Amino acid sequence: MLCYFFENFRNDGYEKSLETARKVASDMNVDPIFRTKRPICRKKQFDENDENEELQYLDESFRINYFLVVVDMTIASLKERFEQLKIFESIFGFLYDSDKLKSLNDSELRDCCILLKNMLSHNDSSDIDLNDLFSELRVLRMTLSDKPMTAVQILEFVRSADCYPNISITYRIFLTMPVSVASAERSFSKLKLIKTYLSSTMSQERLNYIATLCIEKEKLEDIDIDTIVDDCAFTNIRRKHIL
């Protein structure tokens, strides 16, 4: 749907975008004109209408060299991202929720397990066992309640039951596998704020700890810091008892 919108926007959105840009420029007291290079003086012929032709040239040049390039790059990026999501969905799609899991028959479920096992295998070694995973999923389908459950809720149920080791591994891989680069980009942005030229001599271990605290700030707020401080105080070998 999003790709369809940008494909239509590529054909019909230029004039609307140009009109919107002119209104924004007028509100900011900026002349709504295209920036031009220093004109080259040359002898004009008697039948040349240079003003209109120059405006048409600038308008068409902006549409071709900027507007269409940006929109085409956006469409290409979206298609590439959606192709990756389709591959991810074909591998882990049957684990999305309980309804999807229960809708599969035994043959379809086994095919999904085979595909997943092949993707999680390397050099004849794998984190999961195919037959055990298939058997555990068959039992899990009968164990889950009729109420729809998300993947996170299924993992919590599996961990509380503590009898589905292969399913637990599978869901942990599924829920921690990044499907975008946004989190990685935010982590690098945070790293630039931490490791500056004033703090460039800190060790790698300390940098990892500080970066984790900054990136996982929401989880840090739930931690009782007073307890950690007390533990550090009591384990400090330089601490002396004052009588």
Please tell me what DSSP assigns to residue 97. Answer: B
H-helix segments, the chain: 2-12, 14-27, 50-62, 68-92, 98-102, 106-119, 130-143, 151-161, 165-176, 182-194, 204-215, 217-220, 225-235
Q: What is the C-alpha separation between 86 and 84, in angstroms, rounded?
A: 5
Quickly list DSSP for 185-240: HHHHHHHHHHS-GGGTTS-HHHHHHHHHHHHTHHHHTTS-HHHHHHHHHHH-TT--
User: How many angstroms separate the CA atoms of 117 and 121, rounded?
Assistant: 6
Digit-coded pLDDT (tens) for 60-81: 777 888 888 888 888 888 777 7
Phi, psi angle pair for 191, to nearest 5°: -65, -35
Helices 2-12 and 14-27 cross at an angle (nearest 10°) of: 80
- The amino acid at residue 216 is E
243 residues of the chain, pLDDT tens digit each: 677 788 888 888 888 888 888 888 888 888 777 666 665 555 666 555 555 455 556 677 778 888 888 888 888 887 777 777 788 888 888 888 888 888 889 899 999 999 888 888 888 788 888 899 899 999 988 888 888 889 889 999 998 988 899 999 999 888 887 666 666 667 777 777 787 777 777 788 888 888 888 877 777 778 887 887 887 777 765 555 554
Q: What are phi and psi of 92, to 5 degrees?
A: -110, 5
Measured between its terminal Cα atoms, the distance across the chain in Å is: 74
DSSP SS3 for 122: strand
